[in-house]
Amino acid sequence: MPDPLASLTLALAIILFLTVIFWPTFGLINQWKRHQRTSIRVLTEDALKHLYKAEVEGRGATLQSIAGTLQIGIERTTSLLAYMQRGGLVTWEEGRPQLTSVGRHYALHIIRAHRLWEYQLADQTGYGKTEWHALAEHREHELTRDDVSELSVKLGHPRYDPHGDPIPPASGHLQTHGGKPLMTLAVNQTGHIIHIEDEPETVFAQLVAEELSPGMDVRVLDKTRERIVFWADGDEHILAPMLAANISVVPLPNADRSKFFNTEHLSDLKPGEQARILRLSHFCHGAERRRLLDLGLTKGTVVEAELASAGGDTMAYRIRGALIALRSEQARLIHITRLRAADAP
Amino acid sequence: MMKADGNLLATEASCKSCPLYHAAHMKKLGVDMEDWDYVVALAGNPNTGKSTVFNALTGLHQHTGNWPGKTIARAEGGYAYANKRYKVVDLPGTYSLLAASVDEEIARDFVLFGQPTVTVVVVDATRLQHNLNLVLQVLEITDRVVVCLNLIDEAIRHGLRMDHRRLARDLGVPVVPTVARSGVGLAELSRAIHEVATGKIICHPYRVQSEPPELKQAIKTLTEKIEKALPDLPNARWIALRLLDGDERIATALRKGELGDLRRSTVGETDSPRPADEPTEKALVEEILASAQSRRSTIGYNVHERYVEAIYTDAARLADRAVTLADEKPRFDVDRAIDRLVTSRIWGFPLMIGLFAFIFWLTISGANIPSAWLSALFIDTICPMLREGAAAVGLPWWLRGLLIDGMYLTVAWVVSVMLPPMAIFFPLFTLLEDFGYLPRVAFNLDNIFKKAGAHGKQALSMMMCFGCNAAGIIATRIIDSPRERLIAIITNNFALCNGRWPTQIILATLFIGGLFPSPLAGLISSAVVVGVTILGVLLTFAVSWFLSRTLLKGEVSTFSLELPPYRPPRFWQTIYTSMIDRTIFVLWRAVVFALPAGAVIWLVANVHIGNVSLAQYLIGFLDPFGILLGMNGIIILAFIIAIPANEIVIPTVLMLIVLVTGAGDVGAGAGVLFEPESESTLKPLLASGGWTLLTAISVMIFSLVHNPCSTTIYTIYKETGSVKWTAIASLLPLVLGIVLTFFVAQLWRLLAELG
Ligand SMILES: Nc1nc2c(ncn2[C@@H]2O[C@H](COP(=O)(O)OP(=O)(O)O)[C@@H](O)[C@H]2O)c(=O)[nH]1
Ligand SMILES: [Mg+2]
C-alpha cells in the first residue's frame, strides 16, 4: 500500500497542475483560446464597426482611436489597416481612414448581428443585462448573413435592441436613437428614456444596479453640478453627471404630472398585507415580463403577501386566488399602492 | 371473464334507471387507439387535474401529483363513447398559450395545428379567475371547447358556490362540473365532448372585450383583412392578434397554409395541409403580413401586455359572476396554518429533515422482514427447484449456469432487496407529493439554490431524482432557463436513487449501525443514510455553485412557482396507484437490466484465460487503483458491471469475493449471486473479502458520487442533445467521486498511522 502522505502530496500537486491548465476561467487553455479569438478577422470587424460608428456620429476615426478601441499597438493597427485597404474595405483620405461602400456594408452587418443578438439574449434568456454586451461582442463575429436574417425572423423583426439602439435593416443605413442627454432636461421637466449606453462596462453596471432601463418615464427633481435627482417609474434616483450622460431621453412636455410619484414595491409587503399593482417596471423585460403577466400580475390586480419562505428572500403572494412564489428581486420590479385593511375588496 | 361481464351487466342495469345512463356508453380503451373518430386535447393550468381526467377517461395510469410540472411529455390514450372512438391527448399544463416557454409552445401548437376535434380545458374551480386566462385564450383559437370545472369538492371545502350554468352561458361553451378524482361528472363530460364533436352543440365562444381602443381597432381591421383573404379560418381574430404581437411562428404557418386545417368544415376529418400555392392567396398573405408589420410600428410593441391585461379584466368579471362565497364569516383556515408552520423560519427546515428522516426510518426498519421472506422464497425455495428441474430436462451445465445461477439469481436478488424498500418508500413519498408538500420544499430551498446560482425548481427535479435519476432528468424540463436546466441535469446524480438506497441502507446497517447496541442501531443507521442524503444535497449546491461560476456562467434567472393548494390525499387509492405506477415500473426496469448483467457476471467468472478466470484477471488489474480509493479491485469491477443498474453493485461484490477468496462453501459456486441467509453471514463474508469500516464508508461515498447509470446517461443525451454535456454530466461526478474517496482513504490511513 502506498504511503498516504506521499500519495496525498502527489494528488494535490496533480490537482493544482490540472487546475492551472484546465480551469474554465483563468486556465491556460482558456487563455490561449481567448487569444485565438482576437484573430485578424475579428480585429478587422471590430475596426470596421469603430470606423462606421465614428462616421455616423460625424467625428471621424483616427489611427489612434482605432488602436485605442481595439487595445492593440499603433504598429499592429497600421498593418491591420493596410490589410483592410488591400481587401477594399477602407481607403485613406486626408490622412484618415475612411470606409468604402463595401466596408460600410460589412460593418452594418456586424452591428446588426450584435444588436439582434443582444435582443435575443434580453428577450429569451436569463443572462444578466451586464452580460449581454460581452456575449454579443463575441457572437457577432460568428453569425453569417443568413444566420442574422433567420434570427431577425425568429425574433419578429425587432427594431430596437434592449439598450434602445435601432437595429439596422439588412441593407440601408445605421440610424441613431435620436434622444438627448438626460442632463439637458430642466428641473421639473418630464421625459422618456429611450436609450442607455452600455459602454463603458463599469458605468453601465451602475445604471443596471439602479434598475434604470429604456421605456421609463422620468421627471427631474433637482440638478446641480455634482448630481441629478430624478424620478423614473416611481423610484427616486440620484446620479453623478458622468453616469447620467449615458442616459438619453426624449422630452415629454405634455406628460400628466400626477403620474409621477414615488411608489412602493411588492417586495415591501409583509405577510398579511395587501396592495394593488400599479405597473411592472420597465426594467423587467422579455420572457420574464411575459411570464409575470401570464401569472396574473397585471395592472390593477390586488395581491396579498401570504408566506415568507423558511430560507428567506422568497415570498408567496396570493394573486387572483393562486399562491405564487416570487424572489425578492422580482417583487422589487412590481410597483404597488398599499391597501389598508378597510379598502380591501 | 364471466365475472367481469356479470359486473358490467349489473352496472348497466342499475344505471338504466338513473339519469347518468349514458355512462354505460363509455368504454375505456387505454392505449388502444387505432382508427379513432375524434381527437380530444386536454389543456389547462398545471395541477388542475388534467392527468386525473385523462386517466379516468382512458383507464391509463399517467403520473399525477400535486405539483406544477408533473406532466411534461404529452400522453395519449383512448376511449369509446356512443360507438365513436376518441383519442385523448394530455397536454403539459400552462398558464397561457402566448408561447413564452417550451411547454406553452407544445400545448399551443397542438391546439392550433394538431387539429383536435374538441379541446377540453380543465379548470381548477377554486382558482377560477386565474384559470380563465387560459380558457379565454383557447376560446379565441378554437370554437369547439368544453370547460371541465374540476375540483368541485375542494371548492365546496373552501366554501365556494359555483354557478356553472351562468359560466356556460357567459363563455358560450359547455361547462361541466367534475370531481375527477372520484369520477364524478366524467360521464357528463364525455357526453358534452361527444355533443360538441358531433356538432349537436354549436359553441358561440366568448371573445375578449376589454382591449384598449387603439388595439381593438387594429385587431378589427386586420381581422377583416384576414377573413376576406382566407374565409375558411375560424380564428382570424386570434391570428390578427398574434401577428400584431410579432409571432413569427404564426406568420410562417400562414405562409405555408398550415392554418387552413382549422377550417370549420373539417370536423373529424384529417386532410393534409393545403399549401397556399395559388399566387393570389400567396400575395394576399404577404399583404396581410406587411400590414400587420406596419401596424405594429404604430400601435407599439407591447401588444402582449395589453392583451393579457384585457383578458384578466374579463376573467375577473366572469369569475365574479360565476362564484359566490357561501359563508362570509372567515373560518379557521387549516391550509394557511399548515403553510405557516412548514415555511416558518424556525420550524421549516427541521420539519423537512425530520419528515424525510422519518420516511427513511420507516423504510429501513420496515423493509428487513419482507426482504428476508422474499429471499427465502426466491433463493432458498425456488432456486433449488429450478436447478433440479433444469437437470431433469437435461440442459447442458453452461446453459444451466447462465440461466439459473447467472440470470435468475441476479433478478431474484434485485427483487428481494429492492421491492420491500420501494414498496414502503414510494407510497409514502407519493402521499407527500399528493398532499402538496414538495413545492413547499422547493419554496424553502429556493434561496440556497439562488445563492448557488441555480434555479429554485431544481429542488423539484431533485425530489424526482430521489426516486429515479432518469425521471429527474426529464423533470428538469420545468426549468425554463437553459443554463440552469443544465446545472440541474449535471447535478442530478447527487440525489440517491432507488438503485442506491439499498446499498446505503445495507452498508450503514452492517458497518455503522452494527457498532452500536441494538436499540440504537436502527436509529443510527437511518441517521447515517440521512447524512449521506444531506451530503448529496450539499454536493448539489457546491457543484451548482461551481458550474454557475465557471462553465455555465450567467446570472440567476428568476423563479416563479405556484404553490398548489393542499389537497387531502386519498390514502388507499394513492398507495395502490403508487405501487402500480412506480414500484412495479422501477422494479421492471431494474429486472430488465439485471438480467444481462447476471449473464455477464457469470461469464466473467467462468471464462478462463490460461489458468485464471477473466474476473480474477480484471480484479488483479484494478486492485491497486481500488486500494488507493479505500476500496479494492472487486468493488471497482462491480461498479463497472453495474453501470446499467446501480442496484446490483453489492450482489456482484459478494459473488466476486466468493470467487476470489475461495469461500466457496458459503455460496453456490463460481458466478452465482446468492443471498446469504441473514446479515450475520453477510458481514463475515465481506470481511473475508478485506472489507473494513473504511471500505464501507468509501463504497457509500462512491455509490453516492459516481457516474450515472446507463439509462440516465442516455436520458441526459436525449434531453440535452449534446455529446459534450452528456460527457460532462457523466464524468464530473465520477471524477469527483474518485477525488473524494481518495482523500477520505488517504487521510483515514494517515490518521490511523499517527494514532
Ligand atoms: N380533491 C380532488 N383532488 C383532485 C381532483 N382531481 C385531481 N386531484 C388531485 O390533484 C392533483 C393534481 O392532479 P393532476 O391530474 O396531476 O393534475 P395535472 O397537473 O393537471 O395533470 C393530484 O394530486 C390529484 O389527485 C378532484 O377532483 N378533487
Ligand atoms: Mg398532469
Question: How high is the mean pLDDT in each 10-residue block of chain B (755 residues)?
Answer: 36 40 58 75 90 87 60 73 88 81 78 87 93 94 93 89 92 95 92 92 88 88 87 84 85 78 42 52 82 79 85 92 71 80 91 84 78 80 85 82 77 76 79 84 89 85 80 80 88 86 83 81 83 93 90 74 84 78 71 78 80 85 91 91 82 76 48 46 77 93 92 88 93 94 93 84
For residues A296 and A329, membership in a common domain is answered with yes
CA of residue B154 to ligand 2 center, whole Å: 18
* 3-state secondary structure labels for all residues of B81-118: ECCEEEEEEECCCCCCCCCCCHHHHHHHHHHHHCCCCE
Distance CA B638, CA B619 (A): 10
Count other C-beta atoms under 10 Å from residue B576's C-beta.
12
H-only helix segments in B302-347: 303-322, 334-342
Cβ neighbours of B280 (radius 10 Å): 9
pLDDT of A216 reads 86
Q: Is the CB of B50 under 6 A from ligand 1?
A: yes
Tell me the C-alpha distance between A184 and B14, whole Å: 84
Q: What does each of the 345 residues of chain A score in pLDDT, given as a tens digit?
A: 678 888 888 889 998 998 888 877 777 887 787 676 667 888 888 889 888 888 887 777 888 888 888 888 888 888 888 888 888 888 888 778 888 888 888 988 999 999 999 998 888 776 778 888 888 888 888 888 899 888 888 887 788 888 888 888 877 777 777 888 888 888 888 888 888 888 788 888 888 888 888 888 888 888 888 889 988 887 889 999 888 888 988 888 777 766 677 788 999 999 999 999 998 888 888 878 888 898 899 988 999 999 999 988 899 999 998 899 999 988 998 999 998 765 555
Judge whether A194 lies within some domain.
Answer: yes
CB-based contacts of A39, cutoff 8 Å, min separation 6: none
Residues A197 and A255 in one domain: yes
Q: Quick one: A148 and A200 in the same domain?
A: no
Q: Is residue A104, in this structure, part of any structural domain at all?
A: no
Separation of CA B260 from chain center: 35
- Please check whether residues A121 and A78 belong to one and the same domain: no
What are the chain B neighbours of A12 within 8 Å (beta carbons)? none
Does residue A43 share a domain with residue A20?
no
To which residue does cell 435627482 refer? Answer: A229
> Which of B558, B629, B698, B743 is the mutation pick for testing A, counting most A CBs within 10 A?
B558
Are B596 and B644 in contact by the 8 Å Cβ rule? The answer is yes
Q: Could you tell me how many residues make up chain B? A: 755
Q: Which of residues 105-164 of B touch A (CB under 8 A)?
A: 126-130, 133
Say if A186 falls within a structural domain.
yes
Give the pLDDT of residue B455.
Answer: 84
How many angstroms away from the CA of A97 is the closest CA of chain B? 37
Rg (Cα) of chain B, in Å, rounded? 30
Going by C-alpha positions, the residue among B239, B238, B216 that lies closest to residue B299 is: B216
Choose one of A259, A291, A313: the last residue of a domain.
Answer: A259
Do residues A184 and A167 both lie within one domain?
no
In-domain check, residue A49:
yes
Domain match, A159 and A227 both: no
Give the tens place of pLDDT for each residue, B60-111.
766 666 555 555 556 788 888 888 889 898 888 888 888 666 677 788 888 8
Considering every ligand atom, which ligand is closest to the CA of B45?
1
| pLDDT of the residue at B153 | 92
Tell me how many domains chain A contains: 5
| Ligand 1 mean position, distance from CA B151 (Å) | 7
Ligand 1 atom 19: residue of nearest CA: B47
User: Are A186 and A223 contained in the same domain?
Assistant: yes
> H or E segment at A181?
strand A180-181
Distances (CA, A) of B643 to B136, B607, B636: 50, 21, 11
Instruction: Find, among B491, B472, B453, the residue nearest to B736 by Cα.
Output: B491
List the single residue in B130, B347, B747 with the smallest CB-CB distance to A322. B130
What CATH number has the domain bearing residue A63?
1.10.10.10
In the three-class reduction of DSSP (H, G, I as helix; E, B as strand; rest coil), residue A155 is classed as: coil
Ligand that comes closest to the CA of residue B67: 1
Bridge partners of A277, per DSSP, are A336
Range of the domain at A133: 113-175
A270: domain CATH number?
Answer: 2.30.30.90
Which ligand is closest in space to the CA of residue B569?
A: 1
Whether A313 and A301 share a structural domain: yes
- Tell me whether strands A274-280 and A334-339 are parallel, antiparallel or unpaired: antiparallel
Residue of A nearest to B96 (CA): A294
How far apart CA B717 and CA B722 sit, in angstroms, is 6
Interchain contact, A287 vs B100, CB within 8 Å: yes
A292 sits in which H/E element: helix A286-294
Query: Ligand 1 centroid vs B51 CA: distance in angstroms?
Result: 7
Q: What is the dihedral of CA B283, B284, B286, B287, to 10 degrees?
A: 120
Give B473 Cα–ligand 2 centroid separation in angstroms: 17
Beta-sheet pairing, B145-150 with B175-177: parallel
Distance from Cα B50 to the centre of ligand 2, integer Å:
5
Q: Which residues of B touch A126 (CB under 8 A)?
A: 481, 483-484, 554-558
Q: What share of chain B is helix, strand, coil (3-state, %, to 5)?
A: 65, 10, 25
* Cβ–Cβ < 8 Å for B441, B352: yes
Mind spelling out the 3-state secondary structure of B289-305? HHHHHHHHHHHCCCHHH
Same domain, A169 and A130: yes
Nearest alpha carbon to residue A163 among A114, A95, A124, A91: A114
The answer on A18 and A86 residing in a single domain is no
What local confidence, expressed as pLDDT, does residue B71 receive? Answer: 54
**Opening angle at CA B701, ends B698 and B706, nearest 5:** 115
Cβ under 8 Å to A: B residues 462-501 = 480-484
Q: C-alpha angle B444/B445/B446, rounded to 5°?
A: 95
Q: Are residues A209 and A238 in the same domain?
A: yes
Spatial contact of B75 and B51, defined as CB atoms under 8 Å apart? yes
What pLDDT is recorded for position B64? 64
ipTM of the complex: 0.80
Inside any domain, residue A107: no
State the virtual CA torsion across B661, B667, B671, B672 in degrees, nearest 10.
-160
- For ligand 1, say whether the CB of B153 is within 6 Å of any of its atoms: yes
Q: Which residues of A touch B100 (CB under 8 A)?
A: 287, 290-291, 294
Report the alpha-carbon angle B591-B593-B599, nearest 5: 100
Give, for A84, the enclosing helix (H) or strand (E).
helix A74-86
DSSP three-state, residue B171 = helix
CA B741, B744, B749, B750 dihedral sign is positive
List of domains in chain B: 2-197 (3.40.50.300), 213-300 (no CATH), 348-498+530-555+575-582 (no CATH), 591-754 (no CATH)
B10: left (phi over 0), alpha (psi -120 to 50) or beta: alpha
Query: What's phi and psi for A140, nearest 5 deg?
Result: -55, -25
Contact A325, A316 (CB under 8 A): yes
The answer, as to whether pTM is greater than 0.90, is no
Contacts of B739 (CB under 8 A, 6+ apart): A11, A15
- Partners of A329 on chain B (C-beta within 8 Å) are 558
CB pairs under 8 A between A and B: 188
Residue A344 belongs to a domain: no
**Which residues of B are less than 8 Å from A294 in CB distance?**
95-96, 98, 100, 133, 308
Q: Which residues contact B341 (CB under 8 A, 6 or more apart)?
A: B347, B351
Nearest CB to B247; choose among A5, A127, A156: A156
